[in-house]
Structure 1
Amino acid sequence: MGWFSRLFGSKESPQEVIVEPIEYKGYLIYAEPIAEGGQYRIAGRITQGEGESMKTHRFIRSDLLGNQDDANELMLKKAQMLIDQMGETIFNK
């Protein structure tokens, strides 16, 4: 049955990947690129605080890159720039 499901695709849900955050100026940055047509879209989240007081800002950029490592690196740079420019206001809705 294994070859049959590989041939026609499997209905299994994708495995959840655990992302190690990068700490920057009191914020935690999680790179979570989205695979799209053989490329990776810049995406991730920035958090601050813990428990019920945790604030989260999620973002997706239009940038597409050829591999996941490059996407992670650019996401980190974009997130750091966002933190530098906006600070706490990134959590305002």
Structure 2
Amino acid sequence: MSFLSGLKSLFTAGPAAPEKEEDPIDYKGFIIIPAPINEGGQHRVAATITKGEGDSQQIHKFIRSDLIAGRDECITVTINKAKMTIDQLGDRLFN
């Protein structure tokens, strides 16, 4: 590997890969499904929030800029951020 290609590899990463989705969490009538994204050994805060079922189901996917070292800690942070988003926006989350 040349010096330049080694330097380039420091600043480029492979595509982000979603990890296995966690069990759904019911919160105030919304369902939170944490889905951390593995990025270079760290985990990006991400989840899907849904409400309703069938044809009336509404879905909101969010990905935050937060990178957390541990997967379990990332899931905890994700759940807390999702709950805070629900508390702040409620049904407006889907607009």
TM-score range, shorter chain: 0.7 to 0.9
1:74 partner SS: helix
**Structure 1 residues without counterparts, runs of 5 or longer:** 1-13
How far has the Cα of 1:67 moved from its partner? 1.2
Who is 2:93 aligned against? 90
1:1-93 to structure 2, matched below 5 A, reads: 17-92=20-95
Q: CA deviation at 1:38?
A: 0.4
Query: Cα 1:64–1:22, aligned 2, differ >3 Å: closer, same or farther?
Result: same
TM-score (norm 1): 0.79
Query: Which consecutive unaligned segments of at least 5 residues does structure 2 have?
Result: 1-16
CA distance in 2, matches of 1:18, 1:61: 16
Output the CA distance in 2 between the equivalents of 1:18 and 1:77.
16
Identity of counterpart residues, as a percentage? 49
- Displacement of 1:19 in angstroms is 2.8
Q: How many aligned positions are there?
A: 78
